[in-house]
Structure 1
Amino acid sequence: MATATDTQPADLDLIAVLDPEGKPLAGAELPAISDERLIELYRTMVLMRAIDQRLEGLQRMGRIGFFGSARGQEAAVVGSGAALQPEDWLYPALRENAIMLLRGFPLSRYFAHMFGNAHDVLKGRMQPMHFAGREVNQVSWSSCIANHLPQATGTAYAMKLKGEAKVAMGFVGDGGTSEPEFHAALNFAGVWKVPAVFICQNNQWAISVPSSKQTASETFAVKARAYGMPGVRVDGNDLLAVVREVSAAVERARAGGGPTFLELVTFRMGGHSSADDPSRYRDDQTVQSWARKCPLARLRTYLESEGKWDEQRQEALEAELREEINAAVKEAERADLPPPESLLEDVYADDPPLMDEQRQFLADELAFKQDRAR
């Protein structure tokens, strides 16, 4: 996975294919991707931005509890997800959930999770933004950051033991690299050469802690050296670079070459979540400088320069996505709350007698409350 310039190691460089204005860099190798697939990825990035805007509105109206925006990180998310095959497993952190949409998860069920109702595949049991879906091989993250990374490593180790040509991908933020689970996951993965790809979205902030206060390493990617695996540092706002480098890491893992750790350098344009006010700890000048590096604008400029996109298609896409989102929100929000009896579902594969006792206890409690309400 060489850089565009080959001037320094990949874990210290900042690998890019496009410059900030969307023009291919001299000597840069474009990823092997069809026009149709590239347009699909751009569409998903625009969808991500539109979903963020809708979730912000729903939260402000009190219709959902909270959400975590991925605005500004669309290329890092979609470009990484584009490298996966349907049989691969995904362990996201807070801002990577659009990958499940790229992999075919229904949009109405995506919104239903935010409402926590019966249309949610998780039956309203998880707090918002903790998406999971068996049909797309996505496991929910935990708000105790980084502790899903050992799970990704364990999944990859199981794949290796079974001789399966599959890959597990685990995400972490820059703040999560300071957690002991990060060390445990990468150390085990490096020792046993498991088919895993670990991705750090370095969006510059762990809530209010800047990345400069998170590590003394020159980069986050360079940490991979201690674990005996390649480290690659990529411009996370350049979709083409992300697709190329993450795809190379995924295929290396699938072929038995072991894990890779990638640092995708990007920026969290909004707050950590809808409960956060980032203006209290960062200056607007920095935010505006990153706004000029918008991953959507960058890719759109490239597509237009190649004759693959224009203003008419952009307007049609935005109208189409508004209609899709409106329909999905309407379908999701009209679902009922999960019935109380669903609390005791999905506990065991084969229920022991104790579960029958608990079901009867719950039924008696519900009947008692109904009687008192009359």
Structure 2
Amino acid sequence: MKDRNHLSDIGIAHDVKMISNGLVDIPMLQLLSPDGVAHDSDGYAELDQDKSEKILQTMHYIRILDERMIAAQRQGRISFYLACTGEEAATIGSAAALEPEDMIMSQYREQGTLAYRGYTTKQFMDQMFSNQKDPNKGRQMPIHYGDKALNFMTISSPLGTQIPQASGYAYGQKMAGVDALTICYFGEGAASEGDFHAGLNMAAVLNCPVIFFCRNNGYAISTPAEEQFAGDGIASRGIGYGIKTIRVDGNDVLAVFAATKKAREIALKEQCPVLIEAMTYRLAAHSTSDDPTGYRSKEEEAKWREKDPILRFEKWLKSKNWFNEEAIKQFAVESRQEVLQTLKQVEKEPVNHIDDIIEDVYDTPPWHLKEQLQSLKQHIRQYPEAYPKTSGRIKND
């Protein structure tokens, strides 16, 4: 198994080192220092100026979207939101290394990958406001995006379900002989789910072309990583399953891009899975339902804000003379205006008709669902003040 597991197979990693307690000590790939100095250019040679500028713009856009939608949730305009503040390099840097035909299976903090592929502000908003333009017909919570045209599988709430699904989808890609793979994102907390182990083992045994991308952001909601597992992070598990594995600095766009680019090359050429563990930090709360002050200190957060992936990437762009400060400021102003204007427009859109709730499951809705629907309508008529957006859609039924 040594040849299969050896990290140098990735082409940009170091050797596995054994330490006294028998655990695998896995080094972390870093190509960009915190002060913006690049160590090596081999791994990110394809990261040209145009792609770099697109990555930076997407990072700024997502941070603006996150800030505005958190505020919208606080105002009661949407019910829920998850920000990816601090993890933009991990999600957007990896998306830049993929091809459009690659399938993305997300957990819930990868909105940057969708934005990089061209998902519009209105598409984000339609889903979060669950209006008639929402392709999910308002049946899911906010941030449960999905887009067939962009090869982005619809998000589901339960943790880890996308991991074995990704193995299965990648196996299908292999059987179909297509020149594409699947990338599956998840957090280190989701790696404690049984689906993680089933999915990785399936991919390893069946040689599925899939990239497992773990965002190790330090916390599973309020549980710190040191209370989740005793081993060397998530990367050691990939090695245990016989999967080519690399650990990268998740706040380093160059390292993430290079690792994902190489992982894609290996996964397709050798028809095998690759695991990437991106070491990063969640600067925002876990969700709008969370208060991080209850389990981590302001000093800890301040320490990680100094490692902000956007500022770090901008320093590198300046060293390349690729950074136009006025242009990015103008982009931020225009993006903020677009987000605010679209929000105001979209929240006025009508919601779906209540009958949609039992459609698209059976050819003809069965009797018990019809009865439940009638009972729901009766309940809404009885308490119309609790359903202001819905009651008007059923009064003539």
Deviations, residues 278-302 of structure 1 (Å, cap 9, x unaligned): 1111111111111000000001111
> How many angstroms does 1:244 deviate by?
0.8
Deviations, residues 16-49 of structure 1 (Å, cap 9, x unaligned): 1110011112576434122111100110000110
- Write the distance in 1 (CA, Å) between the matches of 2:291 and 2:352: 33
Deviates more, 1:162-171 or 1:322-331: 322-331
AA of the residue aligned to 1:15: L
Aligned to 1:24: 38
Aligned to 1:276: 290
* Change in 2 beyond 3 A, CA 1:157/1:363: same
Sequence identity percentage: 32
Deviations, residues 209-261 of structure 1 (Å, cap 9, x unaligned): 10111121123212111111111100000111101101111222222331101
AA of the residue aligned to 2:170: A
> How many angstroms does 1:334 deviate by?
2.1
Residues 3, 13 of structure 1: 8 Å contact kept: no
Query: Would you say 1:88 and 2:102 are equivalent positions?
Result: yes
1:1-374 pair list within 5 angstroms: 1-3=10-12, 6=14, 12-25=26-39, 29-347=43-361, 351=363, 353-354=364-365
- Write the distance in 2 (CA, Å) between the matches of 1:362 and 1:222: 49
- Write the distance in 2 (CA, Å) between the matches of 1:361 and 1:52: 37
Residues 159, 166 of structure 1: 8 Å contact kept: yes
- Write the distance in 1 (CA, Å) between the matches of 2:372 and 2:28: 60
Residues 16, 238 of structure 1: 8 Å contact kept: yes
Aligned partner of residue 149 in structure 2, secondary structure:
helix
AA of the residue aligned to 2:36: G
> How many angstroms does 1:277 deviate by?
0.8
* Change in 2 beyond 3 A, CA 1:300/1:367: same
Deviates more, 1:359-368 or 1:186-195: 359-368
- Write the distance in 2 (CA, Å) between the matches of 1:310 and 1:188: 46
Residues 190, 259 of structure 1: 8 Å contact kept: yes
Deviates more, 1:63-72 or 1:139-148: 139-148
Residues 44, 257 of structure 2: 8 Å contact kept: no
TM-score scaled by length of structure 1:
0.91
Structure 2 stretches of 5 or more lacking a match? 1-9, 18-23, 382-390
> How many angstroms does 1:141 deviate by?
3.0
Deviations, residues 67-91 of structure 1 (Å, cap 9, x unaligned): 1111000000101111222222111
Aligned partner of residue 50 in structure 1, secondary structure:
helix
- Write the distance in 2 (CA, Å) between the matches of 1:144 and 1:363: 29
- Write the distance in 2 (CA, Å) between the matches of 1:361 and 1:127: 21
Residues 31, 243 of structure 1: 8 Å contact kept: no
AA of the residue aligned to 2:115: L
> How many angstroms does 1:364 deviate by?
11
- Write the distance in 1 (CA, Å) between the matches of 2:191 and 2:395: 52
TM-score scaled by length of structure 2:
0.86
Structure 1 stretches of 5 or more lacking a match? none
Residues 17, 28 of structure 1: 8 Å contact kept: no
AA of the residue aligned to 2:342: A
- Over the aligned positions, Cα root-mean-square deviation in angstroms equals 2.7
AA of the residue aligned to 2:341: A
- How many residue pairs end up in the alignment? 370
- Write the distance in 1 (CA, Å) between the matches of 2:114 and 2:212: 17
- Write the distance in 1 (CA, Å) between the matches of 2:378 and 2:294: 50
